[in-house]
Every structure is written in C-alpha cells, then in structure tokens.
Amino acid sequence: MFTLITLFLVCFVVFSYVIVTEPIHPDADIIFLVDTSAGVSSEQFDLQKQFVRRMARYFLISPLGPRAAFATYGSSAYTVIGFSGYSSDAESSLKINTARFLGGTRRIDQALDHAAGMFQKTGRVGLRIVILLTAGNYYTGPGASSVSSAMMPLRTLDAHLYVIGIGSQFTPLMFKQMVRGPKDIFQVPSFNELTSWQSLIARQLRLTTNACKYSSRWATPLYGPYKYVRL
C-alpha cells in the first residue's frame, strides 16, 4: 500500500509539473507590458503582476534560456526589469512586486514604442515576443500615433505581439491590425479571472509562438477568419 501511495504521489508531482510549464524557444526574448493607466485600480495592478510572475514560470524564464523583461505603461512607459536585470526567479519576482503605478491616459502606442527600444538594446537576435495586457482600447486622442505607425518598429524587428484584453471596456476588433492572427488576441472577462485562465493562455502562446518561429508573414492572418479567444 505504501508503495502505491508513493507511486501516486510521484506521478502527481510529475504530472503537475508537466501541466504548469509551457517551455518556449530558448532564444526567445519576451516583454510583458502591463496596464497602469487611470482606469486600473491598485488591486488590478497587483493581479497583473501576479499573472506576469506565473507566466514567467510557465515559460521557464531564466537569464540563460528564454529571457523576459517587464514594463508598465500609462501616459508613458517605464522599464521595471530589463532582459539582464535579474539573476534568479526570486530577484525578478521582487522587482515585479515593487513596480510603480504610472496612471494617466492608456497610451498603448507609447508602450509598443518602448518595447521596440528594449529589443534594440538587447544585442541578441532571436524570437521576439510582446505580451500586452490592457484594460481598454487603443487611445486615439491628441498626440497619439496611429495603430500602423505604432506597430511599425515592432514589425521591423519581426516581433510577435499578443494582446490580452481584460474587462468589458476591451474591444478585440480594435486590435485586429496589430496582430498576426485571431489566436493572438485573448479576451478575459475580469482581472480576477486572469489566474484561472493563465495556463490556457500560456499554452496558446507557446503553440502559436512556436509556429511563428518558422513564419514571419504579416500580410495575411495565419488562422483564417477572425475568431477571438474569449475566456
């Protein structure tokens, strides 16, 4: 009986490990862009930070493997952790926890331009991924860049953008021209549900990103008619 129980526990631990990791290409550089605009509360900011920490663990992020960077944005954008700004998971988690809230207008164009600058400073050529979390739509008011202009630097770098829209103020169609295919847009009903669906999001990101490793087409959607992933 003891042997059976031990075997069960071992299998459970192994199975748990398998389902909570989604290894990504070792040469990948991933930037998380977290929404800290005026419509986001401090609690919602904390839930986004928790999501980023767990996604980094899903992807087995490390300084020697796939690397991650973390930036916040509101009326401007700010680097919290650069690609070489941590030496362990514990250190990166600590820095994420102390990230500052920016507030102001939701300037996604500023966030995308900031991400392109972060990639340009790395000196590493590999798979470039941006994961944009947003609680609303693209700001098109005074001073804002058009979507096509905002995306141009990332497209020049052949970066792959994923959009995770959170809440009822997010409209997926407004982000259609920013991504390569419909499976690159996720619609999560609320911040509280980020945790519940992070494994599904991580798995989908890994699958589409691995496919993207061998395809850099921007002109046409990779997945046919747009059907967004609604969580």
Q: Which is more confident, 1 or 29?
A: 29
- Using pLDDT thresholds of 50, 70 and 90, give the confidence band for residue 137: very high
Give mean pLDDT, residues 37-48: 95
Q: Does residue 221 surpass a pLDDT of 50?
A: no
| pLDDT of res. 27 | 78
Give mean pLDDT, residues 215-225: 37
| pLDDT of res. 109 | 97
| pLDDT of res. 133 | 98
Give mean pLDDT, residues 12-31: 59
Whole-number Å distance between alpha carbons of 157 and 163: 18
Say what percent of the chain tops pLDDT 90.
50
Residues 6+ apart with CB under 8 A from 123: none
Q: Which is more confident, 130 or 208?
A: 130
Of 4-13, 40-49, 54-63, 126-135, the least confident? 4-13
| pLDDT of res. 222 | 33
Q: Does residue 9 surpass a pLDDT of 60?
A: no
Q: What CATH homologous superfamily does 30-230 map to?
A: von Willebrand factor, type A domain (3.40.50.410)
Give mean pLDDT, residues 134-138: 96
Q: Does residue 34 surpass a pLDDT of 80?
A: yes
Q: Does residue 23 surpass a pLDDT of 90?
A: no
Q: Which is more confident, 26 or 122?
A: 122
Q: Which is more confident, 82 or 60?
A: 82
CA distance to 33, 147, 156, 176, 183, per residue, from 106 (Å): 12, 14, 24, 18, 23
Does this model's pTM top 0.85? no
| pLDDT of res. 153 | 96
Q: Does residue 89 surpass a pLDDT of 50?
A: yes
Q: Order of strands, edge to edge, in the sheet holding 229-230?
A: 77-81, 67-73, 29-35, 128-134, 160-166, 185-188, 229-230
Whole-number Å distance between alpha carbons of 147 and 154: 12
Q: Does residue 164 surpass a pLDDT of 60?
A: yes
Q: Does residue 11 surpass a pLDDT of 60?
A: no
Other Cβ atoms within 10 Å of 109 Cβ, number: 21
- What DSSP assignment string belongs to 151-209? HHHHHHTT-EEEEEEESTT--GGGGGGGSSSGGGEEEES-GGGHHHHHHHHHHHHHHHH
